[in-house]
């Protein structure tokens, strides 16, 4: 059963709460600490999240869940609309006692200023029967902060994807493929050209160059000329790609 704002208050599920952050059936967590990819913390101040950058955000509030209540966390719609997404949201287990943190990535092409005390996660609470297997998760704030610093430095790095490196790799593969194609068709054209040259030379001795056969040989000679030009052009393109 989902709890209403009144039931959330009466159950005292949120410590250091603010009345203005309650909705009909949820509570919005606010930004307390921001951690960048180098482990530097920003508490009580905002932070400009650059495109593709990842930061960790820890809530000001503490969540106090008994064994018969589970919370569900989702990122605020306002952040989603600005291109920010959370990488590790979902179920908050019964017995959790402490702040909540999430990694946030800026998927937009613009810098986003994450304000101090800004709402970043929305929590809904569900009452259920006490599970047969449950335990308390008592979170020490200092240890929690150090764990998130470690994750910020070691897990994702400063950006979610190495866009520049990926672009260079794709470009390299495309150029390499072009080189292989040019080399293949150049070789094929050279072989065909050589075969036709031999054929014409042999035909010169076997068939007269005048009379009814003259038109056929003239046409064949024109085709060989075109193939020679195509082969030279392909070779020039191959050299140009190799230089790049």
* 142 and 193 co-located in one domain: no
Q: Please check whether residues 148 and 169 belong to one and the same domain.
A: no
Q: What is the pLDDT of residues 147-202, one digit of tens each?
A: 999 999 987 666 655 545 544 554 555 555 555 555 566 666 666 665 555 545 54
The 10 Å CB-count burial string (b at 16+, else e) for 31-57 is: bbbbbbbeeebbeeeebebbebbbbbb
Q: Are residues 122 and 183 in the same domain?
A: no
Q: Return the top range by mean pLDDT from 85-89, 171-175, 208-212.
A: 85-89
Higher-confidence residue: 207 or 62? 62
Q: What per-residue confidence (pLDDT) applies to 133?
A: 86
Average pLDDT value for residue range 203-219 = 48
Domain endpoint, select from 95, 123, 156: 156
Determine the structural domain holding residue 68 and report its residue range. 5-156
- 98, 101, 95, 88: which is closest to 69 by C-alpha? 95
Q: Which of 123, 97, 127 is nearest to 22 (CA)?
A: 123
Whole-structure pTM over 0.85, yes or no? no
Q: For residue 104, which of 60, 148, 40 has the smallest C-alpha distance? A: 148
CA 56, CA 37: separation in Å to the nearest integer?
8
Q: Give strand pairing partners of 2.
A: 126
Q: Which residues contact 9 (CB under 8 A, 6 or more apart)?
A: 17, 22
């Amino acid at each position: 059963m989902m709890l209403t704002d009144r039931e959330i208050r009466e159950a005292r599920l949120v410590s250091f709460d603010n009345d203005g952050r309650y909705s009909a059936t949820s509570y919005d967590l606010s930004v307390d600490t921001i951690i960048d990819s180098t482990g530097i913390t920003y508490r009580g101040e905002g932070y400009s999240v650059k495109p593709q950058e990842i930061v960790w955000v820890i809530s000001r509030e503490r969540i106090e869940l008994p064994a018969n209540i589970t919370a569900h966390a989702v990122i605020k719609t306002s952040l989603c609309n600005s291109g920010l997404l959370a990488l590790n949201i979902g179920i908050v287990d019964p017995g959790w006692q402490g702040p909540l943190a999430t990694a946030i990535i800026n998927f937009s092409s613009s810098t986003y200023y994450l304000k101090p005390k800004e709402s970043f996660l929305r929590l809904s609470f569900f009452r259920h029967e006490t599970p047969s297997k449950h335990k308390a998760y008592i979170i020490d704030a200092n240890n929690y902060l150090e764990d998130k610093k470690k994750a910020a430095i070691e897990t994702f790095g400063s950006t979610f994807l190495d866009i520049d490196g990926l672009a260079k790799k794709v470009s390299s593969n495309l150029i390499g493929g072009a080189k292989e194609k040019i080399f293949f068709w150049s070789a094929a054209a050279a072989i065909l050209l050589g075969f036709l040259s031999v054929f014409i030379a042999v035909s010169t001795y076997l068939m007269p160059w005048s009379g009814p056969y003259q038109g056929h040989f003239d046409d064949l000679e024109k085709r060989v000329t075109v193939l020679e030009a195509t082969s030279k052009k392909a070779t020039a393109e191959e050299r140009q790609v190799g230089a790049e």
